[in-house]
Amino acid sequence: MTERGDTAVAQGPGAAGSASDPRIAELMARAAATELPTARMCRDLAVAHERAGDAAGAVRWALALTDTDADLPAWSAVAGVLRRCVARTAPLGRTAQVAVLGSSTTSQFTALLPLAAARAGVAIETYECGYGQYRQEILDPDSGLYRFDPEVVVLAVHAGDALLPTLADDPDAAVAGEVLRWTSLWDTLRERCGARIIQHAFALPGESTLGHLTLRTAGARATLLARVNAELGRAAGDGVALVDCDRLAAEVGRRSWFDPRYWHRAKQAVSLAHVPLLARHTAAVLGAQLGASRKCLVLDLDNTLWGGVLGEEGLAGIALGDGAVGEAFAAFQEYALALRERGVVLAVCSKNNDADAREAFERHPGMRLRLDDIAMFSASWDDKPTQLRRIAAALGLGLDALVFVDDNPAEREAVRQLVPEVDVIALPADPHGYVRALAAYPFFETTAVTAEDAARTEAYRARAQLAAAEAAASSLEEFHRGLDMTATVVPLDELTLPRVAQLIGKTNQFNLTGRRRGAEEIARLAADPATTVLCVRLADRFADHGLVAVVIAVADGGALAVDTWLMSCRVIGRTLEDEVAGLLMAEARRRGLARVIGEYWPSPKNALVAGLYERLGYQRLDGPDDPSAPDVTRWARAVDEPYRPPGLMRVVSTSAPARPTATVIAQPRPRDRRMEEVPR
């Protein structure tokens, strides 16, 4: 079970402002008696804080509920608390308009989705189509769906919507036809509103007329449904994601997932008891689509990666690999290693002697994880919150990117209290349940796995080495020169486009406009001769950091207008932005343009670049003619003005970019997307 740090129990969110309320004091005392309060405890505390006028406390306890059991009445009550109180609290990092299009009754799901999305860090406004009207809403260009103008569309469909026979004579044709039905709807949605799409994949039924013969029958409906799910997964490119409802149904039991009583009485395709689970996982995928996933898993050592205390038992005495308990710890390490291979950064946070802790990784034959798998290794006698802050700083991540795993309830509680931005996973007492506890955590979701993801640990370990080298250098300039950096301008092509789309989809801190563009739209823009797309890789003596900077600029009149300028947080502060500015000036001169124009759209995450244009010598212009965005600033710099970047790295380029294919660029261009709404 997971608990978000900012829903701490012992002190209680909002407790300070409501301590005088006797009802809250009573509830807090009950909650303090257990590490993980029940859904009903969280509901009662959220309601009590709302009644006491403490909106922040109410919202925090509402979010705490989403990590407890799936108690539908409690979820429903707390969803109302969130709806009434969230406007009076600090804004979440991202906002989005989300349309729910269902083929069955979706009112319960739609009501709970804002609560689940808030737990994922996204404040959403929802639109729900009429019962069974999802196809009509998509196909009618004047429907309420398009007037709502969603950023994300959730297709809440189920296996009954699949037009598949009980037994198909031509299984391949049946599967191809069904896949085409759904991908055609995706295409229509993307063409008309540019929304991201999240579709509920089909949960296979719990009954089959063919019994065990189903596995041998290519045309069996269950076999066809499984193939359709797989083909939809392959067809789901940039901007389309699936929620694996079949996996969720398998976890809770297929006959529990679909209850015919709810279907026949209310056309409820998912049992009411499991609607909170579906909302939670849909929200996790939604958060990933909007760049809100967690990035780093921080692991304790003693009784977490192995059984026993290394300092007391010695290397030969810890339980790892052999015996039932040792196998359980080895399985947990293997699961963490699998997360690392899909792009989750691993770190160690332990109260231990550093040399002894490292020796276990190097010498114990049962270790599945090695030191090379760990991006940041922190073993000292400092408290865990201090070590977590150090890990985040060394890796260049915010604390809200970390997820902490520790067997010790006291250590977990200290982290919840002192670094509430960190998510905390509560491990069960029995190590055989460790894998299941970690697997239940949904917020490592990503939109895709790229080559950069697979090499992410190496990149972050190099970043930690950089931090050590910087501390040893006599000056920042000496440090930068000693890195032997090379920036390489590479073409936008079929190899780099997925990474460019990923960066645009998730980068928040160094992002001047916050526009979110998918791969198809990027390709369309790049195909326009007026558009320049700069893709820049960076390497140094420690690591090849991969493609880390993207600029999209459009020749408009006598200026090169910067549409998108962003850079991965892993290379912030390395003067790469100064070199990119020089590349922009050179491109404007090559096109015969007089100046470069850029905009800064402020957001809760990008204050880092608020002064970038001014530092680079740009002059501020009058604001854009958009009264809804009064905080946006516009900047310009003439290309004939002298500009000299620091020159602390070599800048090279490869061949000219290839043009995207005609099938990609033929589609209409959706409207701009931004990572969050600008305060109005």
pLDDT at 10 over 50: no
Q: Residue 664 carries which side chain, given as an amino acid letter?
A: V
pLDDT at 50 over 70: yes
Residue 454 per-residue DSSP state? H
How do residues 417-449 score in pLDDT, each as one tens digit? 899 999 999 899 999 999 999 999 999 998 877
Tell me if 108 sits within 8 A of 80, measured CB to CB. Answer: no
The pLDDT assigned to 452 comes to 63
pLDDT at 612 over 50: yes
Same domain, 150 and 284: yes
Residue 551 per-residue DSSP state? E
How do residues 215-263 score in pLDDT, each as one tens digit? 999 999 999 999 999 999 999 987 899 999 999 999 999 999 999 999 9
pLDDT at 18 over 60: no
For the chain, the average pLDDT equals 87
Question: Using CA atoms, how far apart are residues 1 and 9, in angstroms rounded to an integer?
Answer: 15
Same domain, 131 and 269: yes
CATH of the domain at 615: 3.40.630.30
Mean pLDDT across the stretch 323-331?
95
Please check whether residue 447 lies inside any domain of the structure: no
Same domain, 338 and 412: yes
pLDDT at 15 over 60: no
The pLDDT assigned to 12 comes to 41
pLDDT at 165 over 50: yes
pLDDT-based confidence at residue 33 (cuts at 50, 70, 90) = confident
CATH of the domain at 321: 3.40.50.1000
pLDDT-based confidence at residue 5 (cuts at 50, 70, 90) = very low
Residue 623 per-residue DSSP state? P
CATH of the domain at 183: 3.40.50.1110
pLDDT at 17 over 80: no
Mean pLDDT across the stretch 124-138?
95
Residue percentage of the chain with pLDDT more than 70: 90
Range of the domain at 386: 296-439
Same domain, 278 and 339: no
Same domain, 85 and 105: no
Please check whether residue 83 lies inside any domain of the structure: yes
Please check whether residue 65 lies inside any domain of the structure: yes
pLDDT at 660 over 60: no
Task: Choose among 425, 508, 564, 382: nearest CA to 121.
Answer: 508
Please check whether residue 446 lies inside any domain of the structure: no
Q: Which of residues 90, 106, 139 is at a domain's end?
A: 90
Task: Choose among 470, 446, 508: nearest CA to 393.
Answer: 470
The pLDDT assigned to 658 comes to 40
Please check whether residue 11 lies inside any domain of the structure: yes
pLDDT at 664 over 80: no
224-233, 456-465, 509-518: the lowest-pLDDT one: 456-465
> What's the token pair of residue 556?
């408009």
Please check whether residue 479 lies inside any domain of the structure: no
The pLDDT assigned to 35 comes to 74
Tell me if 201 sits within 8 A of 178, measured CB to CB. Answer: no
The pLDDT assigned to 625 comes to 54
Same domain, 76 and 104: no
41-45, 305-309, 667-671: the lowest-pLDDT one: 667-671
Q: Report how many helices (DSSP H) and strands (DSSP E) the chain contains, helices first.
A: 28, 20
> What's the token pair of residue 481?
């020169």
Please check whether residue 673 lies inside any domain of the structure: no
Question: Using CA atoms, how far apart are residues 675 and 598, in angstroms rounded to an integer?
Answer: 18
Question: Using CA atoms, how far apart are residues 643 and 635, in angstroms rounded to an integer?
Answer: 16
What's the number of domains the chain is made of?
4
Same domain, 369 and 344: yes
Same domain, 190 and 313: no
Higher pLDDT, 94 or 140: 140
Q: Which of residues 33, 56, 90 is at a domain's end?
A: 90
Q: Which of residues 271, 292, 313 is at a domain's end?
A: 292
Higher pLDDT, 670 or 528: 528
pTM: 0.72
355-369, 424-438, 626-640: the lowest-pLDDT one: 626-640
The pLDDT assigned to 656 comes to 46
The pLDDT assigned to 391 comes to 94
The pLDDT assigned to 483 comes to 84
Q: What DSSP line would sit under 539-608, residue for residue? A: E-SS-EEEEEEEEEEEEETTEEEEEEEEE-GGGTTSSHHHHHHHHHHHHHHHTT-SEEEEEE---SS-GG
Same domain, 84 and 99: no
Classified as helix, coil or strand, 253 is coil
Same domain, 225 and 305: no
Same domain, 354 and 429: yes
Please state the three-class secondary structure of 384-412 as a single string: HHHHHHHHHHHHCCCHHHEEEEECCHHHH
Q: Is 608 exposed, middle or buried (0-12, 13-18, 19+ CB in 10 A)?
A: middle
Strand partners, 628: none
Helix residue ranges per DSSP H, 213-274:
221-235, 245-252, 254-257, 260-266
Tell me which range, 21-30, 174-183, 394-403, is most confidently predicted by mean pLDDT.
Answer: 174-183
Same domain, 96 and 223: yes
How do residues 616-631 score in pLDDT, each as one tens digit? 999 999 755 555 667 8
Mean pLDDT across the stretch 595-610?
90
pLDDT at 671 over 70: no
Residue percentage of the chain with pLDDT more than 90: 66
Please check whether residue 680 lies inside any domain of the structure: no
> What's the token pair of residue 262?
């709810």
17-26, 333-342, 378-387, 571-580: the lowest-pLDDT one: 17-26
